[in-house]
C-alpha cells in the first residue's frame, strides 16, 4: 500500500485507507482512481500528487 501526497496543499491519499467520503473503498490503488478525481482539500488534479515514503507507527 502506498501513500500519495498533493504537492499543493499536502493532503495525503493512503491506499490502505481509501477515501470513503467520496466512495473510494479502503485498499483502492492509486491507478484505479479516476483521472478526473481531484484533491478533496484544494481541488488540485490527480496529476498533482506524488508518491511519498511514509513510515507507519
Partner 1 sequence: MSVDTIAIVGTGVAGATAALTLRDAGFDGRVLLIGEEPHAPYRRPPLSKDVLRGSMPDERTRLRPAEHWATKGVELRTGARVTGIAADAHEIVLLCGETLGYDRLLLATGGRPRTLPVTDGVPGVFTLRTLGDVPALRDALTAGTRVLVVGAGLVGAEVAASARAMDCAVTVLEVERTPLARVLPPVIGVRYAGLHRAAGVDLRTGTGLKSLAHNGSELVAIDTDGAESHADVVVVAVGMVPNTALAETAGIEIDRGPVGGITVDSQGATSAPDVYAAGDVANLPNRVLGGRQRVEHWMHAQDHGAATARAMLGQGTPFDVVPWCWSDQHGVTVHITGWPDAGDEVRLDGDLDGMNFAAEFRRDGKLVGAVGVNRAAQIRLLRKEIAARTSSEAIA
DSSP class of residue 46 equals G
CA angle 50, 55, 57 (to 5 degrees): 140
Q: How far is the CB of 30 from partner 1 (least distance, A)?
A: 15
Which residue reads 508518491 in cell numbers? 51
Q: Which is nearer to partner 1, 31 or 55 (CB)?
A: 55
Counting residues that bind partner 1 (by CB under 8 A) gives 20
Residues in region 4-33 near partner 1 by CB under 8 A:
5, 7-12, 14, 17
Is 6 annotated in a binding site? The answer is yes
Amino acid at each position: 500500500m502506498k501513500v500519495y501526497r498533493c504537492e499543493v496543499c499536502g493532503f495525503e491519499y493512503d491506499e490502505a485507507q481509501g477515501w470513503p467520503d467520496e466512495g473510494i473503498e479502503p485498499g483502492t490503488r492509486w491507478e484505479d482512481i479516476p483521472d478526473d478525481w481531484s484533491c478533496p482539500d484544494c481541488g488540485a488534479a490527480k496529476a498533482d500528487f506524488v508518491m511519498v515514503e511514509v513510515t507507519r507507527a
